[in-house]
Amino acid sequence: MHNLVIIVLFGALLCAPHQCLECPSGCQCFADTRTVKCVSKDLRAIPQDIPGYTRNVIITGNNIIRIGSETFQELKNVTTIILSNNRITEVASHSFSTLSYLRSLDMSCNHLALIHPEALNIPGSPLKELNLSRTLYNYTSLTDLTTALRWGGLGGLLSLDLSGNRLVFLPPGMFSHLPSLQHLLLGNNSLASVYNGTFFGLRRLELLDLTRNSFRAFGGDALGELERLGQAPRILLSHNPYVCTCEIQDFAVWLKSSWVQVGDAEALTCASPWEFQDSPLQGLGGQVIGCHVTSPPLGGIRDEVDNLSLQTSYVLLGLVLGFVGMVFLFVLYLNRQGITKWVVDTRDACHDVLEGYHHRYEIDTDPRREYLPKDVRVEEKPPTNSSFGQAPSDNRLSQLPTDTCLVQIPSDTQVKPGSMSLDL
């Protein structure tokens, strides 16, 4: 019995560092750090037999296509998940909703094309760091991410990394539901402009990285948006292809006069034209680049904001008119049978009127009218067979109704009143 106890204890000491009895096949488990690592094992899905004590899950370099709501149901103690470089294309609804202690999520270097609006929804908003660098597949995934950030309940998120995603546009208000965000990394994208409302709601921002994008200059909207961030955030703007022409003079003067903290202002240089290449922007002025400075650098921001408000009003008016048009078409669709009947009735009525005019025209142009004596009256044809009587001398053929029958009388025939009748 004593020997059996010694063997059991010895086996436990040997297996404790790796938890060999509970570790998924092909993965490494470390009990002392409560970490499970599955690196480059060609996994097709997240292992379901990960030990319950695990707090750190590192699964990289595999072929996992989808993250579903059932993937992490049994891992309620996990605080860190790294799923980088796994070719993930879809994140389903409530994929991480059971991870009430999750603090950091890294899904970088994937191919996300479908992100459910509630994919990042975790009760209590425990998530603090979210890394989605080099992982958005196309513009549709950016739209999905914008919706997920709004509906994901990420009020406690502190850091968001969207670098390296070839982004060319940031929807206004995209970060408005991240009030606690402190670090926003947007470097190494293709952003060329910042619009009004892009960073709306970021009241606690400490770092904004806009390096290595496609900014050629910052206009009135962009400078106004950066001004609204306040003095607290450190803004990085270097390694952009700035074009040092007249359009950049406001930005150059703003760098020297603004109280916004540009952390790499000394590293901002011109990329073109060639005579100003590598020249620091802080040393440029209107006279240097051949422009006449007529107003303060931010003097036109208010006018541009007013113009943008006017454009927004036009957009709202267009939406209202479009909605009214849709309602009108819907009403027409509901009354389509009545409208069809009205059109048919109107067509038949017009057809009858035109038919009467045509019949009257045929009578008026009948050549037999020339042979009728002036004192002969052609009576209207009754519904049944009848005869023509003698007409008063003052009657005219132009007054004949449309259903009158004309009879040709030879010129040498004498017509006596009341002595001739025609059977129709």
3-state SS track over 314-340: HHHHHHHHHHHHHHHHHHHHHCHHHHH
Rg (CA), the chain: 43
pLDDT of residue 348: 87
3-state secondary structure of 272: strand
pLDDT of residue 246: 86
Tell me the C-alpha to C-alpha distance, in Å, between residue 275 and each of 112, 269, 278, 288, 290: 43, 12, 9, 11, 12
pLDDT of residue 2: 47
pLDDT along the chain (424 residues), means of 10: 43 44 85 94 92 94 94 90 96 93 96 94 92 92 93 93 95 93 96 92 94 93 90 92 89 87 90 88 69 50 59 84 90 87 89 84 75 53 45 46 48 44 39
Tell me the C-alpha to C-alpha distance, in Å, between residue 356 and each of 347, 349, 353, 359, 401: 14, 11, 5, 5, 10
Residue whose structure tokens are 């052609």: 378
One of 3.30.365.10, 3.80.10.10, 3.60.20.30, 3.40.605.10 is the CATH number of 158-291, namely 3.80.10.10
- For residue 411, give both structure tokens: 């010129």
- For residue 130, give both structure tokens: 């979210």
pTM of the model: 0.65
3-state secondary structure of 146: helix
Q: Is 121:153 a contact under the CB 8 Å cutoff?
A: yes
Q: How far apart are CA 238 and CA 208, in angstroms?
A: 12
Residue type, 317: L
Q: How far apart are CA 304 and CA 281, in angstroms?
A: 24
- Provide the residue ranges of all domains of the chain, joining segments of one domain with +: 158-291
Q: Is 179:201 a contact under the CB 8 Å cutoff?
A: yes
pLDDT of residue 22: 77
pLDDT of residue 303: 56
Q: How far apart are CA 363 and CA 139, in angstroms?
A: 74
Q: How far apart are CA 271 and CA 217, in angstroms?
A: 11
pLDDT of residue 334: 86
Query: What 8-state DSSP symbol labels residue 178?
Result: -
pLDDT of residue 386: 42
Q: Is 386:424 a contact under the CB 8 Å cutoff?
A: yes
Q: How far apart are CA 244 and CA 216, in angstroms?
A: 8
Quote helix, strand, coil % in the chain, to nearest 5. 30, 10, 60
pLDDT of residue 285: 66
DSSP string, 287-318: TTTT----S-TTTTHHHHHHHHHHHHHHHHHH
First to last CA, the chain: 136
> What element of type H or E holds 105?
strand 104-106
